[in-house]
Amino acid sequence: MSKARAMQLTERRSEGLLRVYDVVVPAAELQQKLNAKIAEVQPRVRINGFRPGKVPVSHIRKVYGPGMMQDIINETVQKSTKESLDKVNARPASEPSLDLKSDMNQVVAGTADLQFELSLEVMPDFEPIDLKTISITRPVTAVADAQVDEALAELARANRGFEDKDGAAADGDALIIDFIGRIDGEAFDGGAATDAQVVIGSNQFIPGFEEQLVGAKAGDERTLKVSFPDDYPAANLKGKAAEFETKVKSVRAPKAGAPDDAWAAELGFDSLNAIKDALRQRIESEHKQQSRAKAKRQLFDQLDAQHDFELPPRMVEAEFNQIWRQIEQDRAAGRLDPSDEGKSDDDLKAEYRDIAERRVRLGLLLAEIGRRHKIEVSDQEVAQAISVQARNFPGQERQIFEAYQRNPQLVAQVRAPIYEEKVVDYVMELIKVSDENVDRETLFAEDDAPTPSKKAKKTKA
């Protein structure tokens, strides 16, 4: 019996980082796999009119052959893709794309070879700089007692409770009101409520709303005249003057008394000190996260500035398209970055294409550093991250896990940021990091200029 022809691989195109290959899997090879699969299942096949294990091969081929062949084709495409990349020693920069060239009906019928085009962009060849030559300054901020006290006071204000009072409403009081808002005499969506609680001074409502309720008593009716801010999220209400017809149903004053152990117990803590400890830990965590974010941005700025190599065009285009879709959504919702206001689309696209190139460059660089130093993300780390996400959807955890099982791309989206953070951790151990003590305001202050790194942070880390 003659040996079946082996898979054929032909390079058809090589331009820069782009590689295009023609792959042919002979029909005879597919038929051999089908015969093997039929022989494997024959003893277990049960069809009416035949004894168990005695169904003729020809009958199994007729009934189940097309479905089996489709599975074989799918498996073969995946295996052939991997073998093809291994054969040419190619390191894809992103997921390869496939374009089937065969008549699939004929392939399934066994009368035609399986032919497909394999297209990919390969990793550019570059040498990362010596990481030990990089030095950054990391801002750090200690937690002051005054910050804890301020956080405690804020928590107390939010959880102090109120009790009915006689007399006029004052700053800090809560009013239960009904209201309906109108613009140019017409009511608008979302402008009415019943039994709404308004705490004067909380700034939960638009400017001017709460202030005009000072002095109101239960039973009063007032018309509040306000204007929506120019940066209000709803574009149809931005800067519009409105009137709210308001009826005050009750006035309530904050319960007297400073936070104490009894109040802490109502919130589920052992003592007031336990609340303070929890608040201190929360603030410390916020400081550490912000400190790392700023140090990471400095690191990325230096890595980006010190590397210049060819970028895969498709990767850059895909990254840019993702960013631009977000920009268009923000613009439609009135959330465009202030530094982008008044710029033409051409100018904006040029700026954000630079950001797309930066992100691709850094992504490839981190991937190369991780590869050289054998940094990997375990399946357990991915599973833990998915579990954390699933907990955000109580009652739907099973559906979330099943969605990830069905979609490898979703799993890749979880794995990517974990991998990035592990590489950054590794790099941070090699570079020189000098800590600088700063106050909280400085730690959380944005950079003055809208640099590419700052905009990149807003669109994606």
What is the residue-level pLDDT of the chain in tens, covering all 461 positions?
Answer: 445 567 888 888 988 899 999 999 898 888 888 888 888 888 888 777 777 777 788 888 888 878 888 888 888 888 888 888 888 888 888 888 889 898 888 888 888 898 989 898 999 999 999 999 999 999 999 999 999 999 998 898 777 778 899 899 999 899 999 999 999 999 998 899 999 999 999 888 999 999 999 999 999 999 999 999 887 878 788 889 999 999 999 999 988 778 889 889 988 999 999 999 999 999 999 999 999 999 999 999 999 999 999 999 999 999 999 999 999 988 887 788 888 888 899 999 999 999 999 999 999 999 999 999 999 999 999 999 999 988 888 888 888 888 898 888 889 899 999 999 999 999 999 999 999 999 999 999 986 544 555 555 544 54
Q: Measuring CA to CA, which residue among 298, 420, 431 is closest to residue 366?
A: 420
Closest CA to 169 of 227, 252, 278: 252
CB atoms within 10 A of CB 273: 11
Cα 141 to Cα 150, 294, 436, 442, 444: the distances in Å are 16, 12, 8, 9, 10
404-433 per-position pLDDT tens digit: 988 888 898 999 999 999 999 999 999 999
At 3 the pLDDT is 52
Give Cα separations from 369 to 121, 126, 425, 450 (angstroms): 19, 11, 12, 29
Q: What is the pLDDT of residue 451?
A: 52
Helices (H), 373-407: 379-390, 397-406
- Identify the CA nearest to 37 among candidates 6, 7, 64, 56: 64
3-state secondary structure of 217: coil
Paired tokens of 21: 């290959």
What was the pLDDT predicted at 143?
A: 96
Nearest to 302 by CA among 383, 365, 213, 212: 365
CA distance 395 to 433: 44
Largest interatomic CA distance in the chain: 104
CA–CA separation, 180 and 174 (whole Å): 18
Instruction: State the helix-helix crossing angle for 397-406 and 379-390, rounded to 10 degrees.
Output: 140
**Which sign, positive or negative, has the C-alpha torsion 167, 173, 176, 179?**
positive
Task: Name the residue with tokens 């199994």.
Answer: 60
- Residue 230 has a pLDDT of 84
Whole-number Å distance between alpha carbons of 424 and 286: 19
Task: Name residue, tokens 């400085």.
Answer: 442
- Report the alpha-carbon distance of residue 387 to residue 384 in Å, rounded: 5
114 and 25 in contact (C-beta within 8 Å)? yes
| 3-state secondary structure (DSSP) of residue 247 | strand
Number of H helices, E strands in the chain: 13, 11
C-alpha to C-alpha distance for 417 and 389, rounded to whole angstroms: 14
pLDDT at 43: 83
Give how far Cα 293 sits from Cα of 109, 137, 207, 441, Å. 57, 12, 33, 15
Output the CA torsion sign for 393, 395, 398, 399.
Answer: negative
Which residues on neighbouring strands pair with residue 114, listed in sequence order?
25
Q: For residue 46, what are the CA distances in angstroms to 40, 69, 103? A: 14, 20, 32
State the DSSP string of 117-181: EEEEEBPP------GGG-EEEEEE-PPPHHHHHHHHHHHHHHHS-EEE-SS---TT-EEEEEEEE
User: Which two three-digit tokens encode residue 423?
Assistant: 């590489």
